[in-house]
Protein backbone atom coordinates (compact mmCIF):
# COMPACT_ATOMS: atom_id res chain seq x y z
CA UNK A 1 0.00 0.00 0.00
CA UNK A 2 1.23 3.46 -0.79
CA UNK A 3 2.14 5.75 2.06
CA UNK A 4 0.75 9.26 2.40
CA UNK A 5 3.28 11.83 1.21
CA UNK A 6 2.54 14.03 4.21
CA UNK A 7 3.20 11.16 6.62
CA UNK A 8 6.33 10.19 4.70
CA UNK A 9 7.72 13.71 5.16
CA UNK A 10 6.34 13.91 8.72
CA UNK A 11 4.12 16.91 7.90
CA UNK A 12 0.59 18.11 8.53
CA UNK A 13 -1.66 18.47 5.49
CA UNK A 14 -1.90 22.21 6.16
CA UNK A 15 1.87 22.78 6.15
CA UNK A 16 3.53 25.70 4.39
CA UNK A 17 5.90 25.26 1.43
CA UNK A 18 8.87 26.20 3.63
CA UNK A 19 8.04 23.33 6.01
CA UNK A 20 7.95 20.89 3.09
CA UNK A 21 11.40 21.98 1.95
CA UNK A 22 12.85 21.87 5.48
CA UNK A 23 11.46 18.40 6.17
CA UNK A 24 12.64 17.07 2.81
CA UNK A 25 16.20 18.30 3.34
CA UNK A 26 16.33 16.79 6.81
CA UNK A 27 14.99 13.41 5.69
CA UNK A 28 17.04 13.33 2.47
CA UNK A 29 20.22 13.71 4.51
CA UNK A 30 19.12 11.08 7.01
CA UNK A 31 17.99 8.45 4.48
CA UNK A 32 20.50 9.02 1.67
CA UNK A 33 21.75 5.66 0.31
CA UNK A 34 25.33 6.61 1.19
CA UNK A 35 24.27 6.50 4.86
CA UNK A 36 22.58 3.08 4.65
CA UNK A 37 24.99 1.49 7.10
CA UNK A 38 24.34 4.20 9.71
CA UNK A 39 20.59 3.57 9.46
CA UNK A 40 21.03 -0.23 9.53
CA UNK A 41 19.46 -0.61 6.09
CA UNK A 42 20.55 -2.46 3.00
CA UNK A 43 21.45 -0.37 -0.04
CA UNK A 44 18.22 -1.47 -1.70
CA UNK A 45 16.07 -0.43 1.30
CA UNK A 46 17.87 2.91 1.64
CA UNK A 47 17.47 3.65 -2.07
CA UNK A 48 13.75 2.81 -1.94
CA UNK A 49 13.22 5.04 1.10
CA UNK A 50 15.20 7.88 -0.46
CA UNK A 51 13.26 7.63 -3.74
CA UNK A 52 9.95 7.68 -1.85
CA UNK A 53 11.04 10.85 -0.03
CA UNK A 54 12.09 12.44 -3.32
CA UNK A 55 8.75 11.53 -4.95
CA UNK A 56 6.82 12.99 -2.01
CA UNK A 57 8.82 16.21 -2.13
CA UNK A 58 8.48 16.51 -5.89
CA UNK A 59 4.70 16.26 -5.63
CA UNK A 60 4.14 18.42 -2.55
CA UNK A 61 6.55 21.19 -3.52
CA UNK A 62 4.70 21.93 -6.77
CA UNK A 63 1.45 23.83 -5.98
CA UNK A 64 -0.50 22.28 -8.86
CA UNK A 65 0.72 18.75 -8.15
CA UNK A 66 -0.03 19.21 -4.46
CA UNK A 67 -3.58 20.39 -5.19
CA UNK A 68 -4.15 17.37 -7.42
CA UNK A 69 -2.67 15.01 -4.81
CA UNK A 70 -4.83 16.53 -2.06
CA UNK A 71 -8.00 16.06 -4.11
CA UNK A 72 -7.14 12.44 -5.02
CA UNK A 73 -5.34 11.36 -1.85
CA UNK A 74 -7.92 8.84 -0.63
CA UNK A 75 -8.19 7.22 -4.05
CA UNK A 76 -4.42 6.90 -4.27
CA UNK A 77 -4.01 5.49 -0.77
CA UNK A 78 -7.07 3.32 -0.37
CA UNK A 79 -8.25 2.49 -3.89
CA UNK A 80 -11.73 3.87 -3.27
CA UNK A 81 -14.38 3.40 -5.94
CA UNK A 82 -14.07 6.40 -8.17
CA UNK A 83 -17.60 7.12 -9.28
CA UNK A 84 -21.19 6.90 -8.09
CA UNK A 85 -22.22 4.29 -10.68
CA UNK A 86 -19.59 1.83 -9.42
CA UNK A 87 -20.39 2.60 -5.81
CA UNK A 88 -24.05 1.83 -6.48
CA UNK A 89 -23.10 -1.49 -8.12
CA UNK A 90 -20.93 -2.32 -5.12
CA UNK A 91 -23.68 -1.52 -2.61
CA UNK A 92 -26.15 -3.66 -4.58
CA UNK A 93 -23.78 -6.60 -4.21
CA UNK A 94 -22.97 -6.85 -7.90
CA UNK A 95 -19.60 -8.15 -9.00
CA UNK A 96 -17.01 -5.47 -9.71
CA UNK A 97 -14.17 -5.66 -12.20
CA UNK A 98 -10.66 -4.46 -11.47
CA UNK A 99 -11.32 -1.63 -13.89
CA UNK A 100 -13.93 -0.37 -11.40
CA UNK A 101 -11.10 0.87 -9.21
CA UNK A 102 -8.84 3.79 -10.01
CA UNK A 103 -6.03 2.17 -8.01
CA UNK A 104 -6.00 -1.63 -7.86
CA UNK A 105 -6.67 -3.07 -4.43
CA UNK A 106 -4.11 -5.62 -3.33
CA UNK A 107 -4.50 -8.15 -0.56
Nearest to 66 by CA among 80, 55, 82: 55
**DSSP secondary-structure letter at 3?**
P
User: Between 52 and 96, where is the model more confident?
Assistant: 52
Rounded Cα gap, residues 49 and 19, in angstroms? 20
- Model pTM score: 0.69
- What CATH topology corresponds to 5-61? Helix Hairpins (1.10.287)
pLDDT for 54-95, tens place per residue? 999 999 999 999 999 898 887 777 765 555 556 666 667 666
User: Between 78 and 22, where is the model more confident?
Assistant: 22
| Other beta carbons within 10 Å of 65 | 13
Whether the per-residue pLDDT at 98 is higher than 60: the answer is no
Whether the per-residue pLDDT at 101 is higher than 80: the answer is no
pLDDT for 23-49, tens place per residue? 999 999 888 888 777 777 788 888 888
Amino acid sequence: MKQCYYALLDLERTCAPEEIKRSYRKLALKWHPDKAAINALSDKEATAKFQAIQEAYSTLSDPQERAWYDSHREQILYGILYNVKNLKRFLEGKELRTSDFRVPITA
